[in-house]
Chain A
Amino acid sequence: MIEFIQQTVTGLMTGSLYALVAAGIVLVYKSTHVVSLAHGQLVAFGALFFWLFLSGFGLPFWVGLIPAFILTALLGLAIERVALRPLIGQPLLAAFLMTFAIFIALEGVFVLYLKGETRTLPHFLPGGNLALSGLSIPINQLIGFCVALLLFGLLSLIFKYTKLGLGMRATAEDHRLAQSTGIVVKNIFSYIWILSGIVAAIAGIATANVMDIYYMLPYIGINGLIVAICGGLDSLAGALVVGLLLGVVENVGAAYLDPLVGGGIKDVAGYAVLLLVLLIRPYGLFGLVKIERI
């Protein structure tokens, strides 16, 4: 039993990272209806920028955060301005394919910069394990978990109570209607990409705090995409719930099924869950069901 709880708790920690990555994708989808495959790269670059300022320039932790946030936000803004804005008015699939072109191009830059090495963030947070009646929880993962919860709370507050959040929600509802009520939709798009860049940087730093920065890091974006789609692309709460759930499923599944099938459940659990969810509820567990008319 203690083994099961341990696996569940570890799964929750991993899942909070997935939820963090998914949060950025949900943000972008909520207001622009573009599903960003490139988000994984934003996450990876956020971690890389942070590493650069911490290890490369030797900045202290709190000071290093700010330029990392700014650079990642700028990268997000650049993607929106250069690549996605010319596609306004084209079918949404073109925008999706564009984000995947950006993913590949940035993947090239990322691999080129790393040159096959791995980068480890210096320990800027207290490490060690928290022992709790037989459970052992690594502190750095626990911090990531708390950051995820805090961030989700903050984002839902922004969406609920600020004027910007109201504008974003209005834009999500109907671009043309929002424009006609005086909301500058283009600005909202820019803000949302900046916000999503910052969220990506947070996700990247939290991820890199747990594992190394290496060539597979951008592919956490695909896990984030799975979580975002399973949760329903326009639901922040769905991203959090499904993210945590996916982490638990992966971990518990790996612990109990791996000996039966010879390992590797972790690599495939997310995709199996995605296929199941898409077959049962195509618009995600918490998503808005769209009705199609001719």
Chain B
Amino acid sequence: MRPCGVFDKSYALDMAIIRTWQHWAILLSALLTLYLFPLFGSYYLVSFINLLSISIIVVLGLQIVSGFCGQISFGQAAFMAVGAYTSSILTIRYGVPFWVALPLSGIMAGAVGIIGGAPSLRIKGMYLAMATIAIHFVVIWLILHMQITGSFKGLYPMPPSICGFEFDTDERMFYIIVTVMIIMTYGARNLMRSKVGRAFVAIRDNDLAGEVMGVNLYYYKLLAFFISCFYAGVAGSLWAHLITVVNTEQFTLLHALEYVGMLIIGGMGSVPGVFFGVLFIRILNELVMFASPALAKAVPWLGSSPAASLGLIAFGLAMAVFLVFEPRGLAHRWEIFKSSYRLYPFAH
């Protein structure tokens, strides 16, 4: 819904994502606040935003393959692991600088993703979801059984540095992670406006009809998997150099399920939805973290540290509630809110 009094005087203006000066003002001030945030924000909040941004990159990738292209994937955590391990191996064993390893790990994860996405050529829906679960376990198993990945001990990558300046704290990594996140978001947003994005949506809505219309299914399905896994790989690389410890415990099936849950709660097929979904789940997790000690004191039956299991319960229930009452996710609610404030005081 267009605000009243906004007209397009040129084709460029019609195509613009940001169309009014108010939009520019909001965007620039938001970016400015974000980049100045480590100066006045607490350490806790900064590291929370780091975590958020990495999750946003992963879920953006999932949005591309599941939300836009309609291929449900439960393998995102494994592809993130591929990225994290690739980046660690490149920087530790081959001395490749982080700035080169970052895109390389994305490409590596994308290559694995193409192999992983191959079943999508023959199967779809729930069968594909199971196949991606299988791929998750196969990838994690391979990582555990190769020499180069340090097996169960994991790897210890170094923080990135440029000209002697070490990005060794969360505040310093913040700038890298947030910048990458913004670039990736911009990429995902623009992808949807291109020929590729339209092909993805055609495949999602009806792949047979799409093929009849001339969409090359094999090419675009594999491309969707490649882009999605590229996102996961980049996020994995950032994660590896932020945490500086990589092991397979960080990439379990539950993590992959969590990403799918974020996507559902945020809303399938919408880039802002990714932000809402990630924010919702992460804040829910933090709330459970804060609430569980008090809860454990009030109800001794729960045991000493119920945070993990209570988090699972809260997450599962939230997802169930969203599936029943708001299957289009928070993004849908956001669209309704936007059009209602633009039209205020009129209802329609």
Contact = CB atoms under 8 A, between A and B. Distances in A.
Contacts of B310: 108, 112
A274 B72 CA distance: 17
A92 B126 contact: yes
Interface stretch (B90-98, B162-170, B320-328): B320-328
Most chain A beta-carbon contacts within 10 A, residue among B145, B206, B209, B316? B316
* Interface residues of B, dominant DSSP: helix
Given A103-B316, A226-B134, A112 B309 contact: yes
Interface residues of B, number: 46
Contact of A111 (B133, B134, B308, B314): B308
A104 B260 CA distance: 12
Given A92-B125, A262-B145, A111 B319 contact: no
A92 B72 CA distance: 13
A292 B254 CA distance: 33
Interface stretch (B13-21, B23-31, B136-144): B136-144
A108 B311 contact: yes
Nearest to B314: A108
Contacts of A275: 119, 131, 134-135, 138
* Interface residues of A, dominant DSSP: helix
B313 interface: yes
A222 B313 contact: no
B257 interface: yes
Nearest to B264: A97
Nearest to B254: A104
B183 interface: no
Contacts, number: 124
A294 interface: yes
Contact of B316 (A87, A106, A282): A106
B218 interface: no
A104 B309 CA distance: 9
Interface size class of A (residues with CB under 8 A): 35 or more
A282 B209 CA distance: 21
A115 interface: yes
Given A83-B320, A107-B312, A279-B122, A294 B206 contact: yes
Contacts of A35: 126
A144 B319 CA distance: 36
Most chain B beta-carbon contacts within 10 A, residue among A87, A105, A262, A267? A105
Given A112-B306, A275-B135, A282 B141 contact: no
A1 interface: no
Interface in B227-261: 254, 257, 260-261
A108 B122 contact: no
Contact of B261 (A87, A101, A111, A115): A101
A93 interface: yes
Contacts of A267: 137, 141
A90 B327 contact: yes
Contact of A229 (B127, B302, B306, B316): B127
Interface of B: 72, 118-119, 122-123, 125-127, 129-131, 133-135, 137-138, 141, 144-145, 206, 208-209, 212, 254, 257, 260-261, 264, 302-303, 306, 308-317, 319-320, 323-324, 327
For the complex of A and B, the 7 pairs showing the least CB-CB separation, nearest first, are A105-B316, A108-B312, A108-B313, A104-B316, A271-B134, A101-B319, A112-B309
20 contacts: A92-B125, A93-B126, A97-B323, A102-B316, A104-B319, A105-B312, A105-B313, A108-B310, A108-B314, A261-B145, A262-B145, A267-B141, A271-B133, A271-B137, A275-B138, A278-B122, A278-B127, A278-B134, A282-B123, A294-B208
Given A112-B310, A278-B119, A278-B127, 16 more contacts: A86-B324, A94-B323, A104-B261, A104-B319, A106-B316, A108-B310, A109-B309, A225-B130, A261-B145, A264-B144, A271-B135, A274-B134, A275-B135, A278-B130, A279-B118, A294-B209
